[in-house]
Amino acid sequence: MTLLILSFIIAYFYAFNVGASGSAATMGIAYGAQVINKKWIALLLSGIGCLAGAFWGGEVVETIGKGLLSESSLTVEAAAIILFVSAITLFVTNLLGIPLSSSEVTVGAIVGVSISMQQLFVGKLFDIVLFWIFVPLTAFLLTFFFGLLKERVKPKKFMSKKLTAVLSVLLIITGFLEAIAAGMNNVASAIGPLVGADVLNKNTGLITGGLFMALGALLLGGRVLETNGKRISHLSLSDGVVISGTSGFLVIGASLLGIPIPMTQVTTSGIVGVGAVKDWQGIWKKKVIHQIAKVWVTSPLISLVFAYCLTEIFLMAKVSTVLIIASGIFATLVLTNFGRTSIIKKARHPLKEEF
């Protein structure tokens, strides 16, 4: 009973943090462009959109709860490990300033538990990974071709107060669409494992999970909104409409198919697509691009290893396996550090040539 209560606490804490970090950013473009001047209005719209989207997130909940691991294997203990790993990984990396995707973290944790129990549904995992590649790439291509079209049309010549007002309204609408998409896709990360373990009704989970995500966006999303708004405030209104609209529609489409999608990467890919039109070579040299690539790989791997180790210890009673993995990681870190130290020493004290 204690474990069950703890699982619920972790799940809703996780939902709250997902709302504060991911959902609040959906109105960032509108706020950064000063279409919405007051922060609380932007956060309120994010929260409402997130809560509304959660009602339609049932397909993704099915995937997270039952699509990767058999129902007989997804016990309360397994669900607790998945939620704990997902929540703690996201929380720690947020403190370190490393942006991770909640969808990728949760899927990675489920895969780690599944591998330990030898119950992984490989076909479904393959479909999810394909979407992780395909959807951000599609966002990039769509916004890139829009940028090319915009360069030819030169809309600045036709800008007027009326057109600016129309684009401003569209920017708010597409931002709200992104918030709905975030609710549809991300609520499953928090409540999916409990639904799969048959300790939480799906409809109840969607409502309560969406509510906690909305509260997270409203109460703790201010810093994310400020950061996101300042980072992308250089975008024009038309750029913002296309990026938000593209991201929102793609993530909603994936959600209807039951695929958990890293929404941050989709939106960022759209921003990169617009930027690539203006500076094709320079955009690929930016550190943020390299960071996104690392996030795509490390997000699921970190939670996978963590969840696998906990499952081996607490559910499978195989401590020796974890010790071998830990020893391998430690040895790799030591050798990597030794190699770096040797290179530094050689750089400082080059060897004399021997005859």
Cα–Cα distance between 82 and 123 in angstroms, integer? 20
Instruction: Pull the structure tokens for residue 253.
Output: 């489409």
CA 195, distance to chain mean position in Å, is 21
Q: What are phi and psi of 325, to 5 degrees?
A: -65, -45
**28-62: string of b/e by CB count within 10 Å (b at 16+)?**
bbbbbbebbeebeebbbbbbbbbbbbbebbbbbbb
CA distance 105 to 91: 11
Q: Residues 15, 216: contact at Cβ < 8 Å? A: yes
Distances, alpha carbon 75 to alpha carbons 88, 196, 306, in Å: 20, 8, 18
> What is the full DSSP assignment across 233-266?
TTS-HHHHHHHHHHHHHHHHHHHHTT----HHHH
What is the structure's pLDDT at 153? 75
d(CA 95, CA 120): 31
Structure token pair of residue 257 = 């198919």
Distance CA 352, CA 349 (A): 9
Q: What is the DSSP string of 328-349?
A: HHHHHHHHHHHHHHHHHHHHHS
Q: Are 224 and 179 in contact (CB under 8 A)?
A: no
For residue 98, the model assigns a pLDDT of 58
**The pLDDT of residue 99:** 58
pTM reported for the whole predicted model: 0.87
Q: Which two tokens stand for residue 303?
A: 């939670």
pLDDT at 353: 44
Q: Measured in whole angstroms, how far is the alpha carbon of residue 282 from the centre of its chain?
A: 25
Return per-residue pLDDT of the chain as tens, 355 residues.
Answer: 789 999 999 999 999 988 887 777 788 888 888 899 899 999 999 999 999 999 999 999 999 999 999 888 899 999 999 999 998 887 776 665 555 678 999 999 999 999 999 888 999 999 999 999 999 999 999 999 998 988 887 655 556 778 889 999 999 999 999 999 999 999 999 999 999 999 999 999 999 999 999 999 999 888 778 776 666 557 788 899 999 999 999 999 999 999 999 887 888 888 888 888 887 777 777 676 676 677 777 778 888 999 999 999 888 878 777 777 777 666 666 665 555 455 445 554 554 444 3
Strands (E), the chain: none
Enter the tokens of residue 150: 């915009």
**CB neighbours of residue 6 within 10 Å:** 14
CA–CA gap between residue 107 and residue 66 (Å, rounded):
12
Contact status, residue 53 vs residue 183, Cβ threshold 8 Å: yes
Q: Tokens 């996978």 correspond to what residue?
A: 304
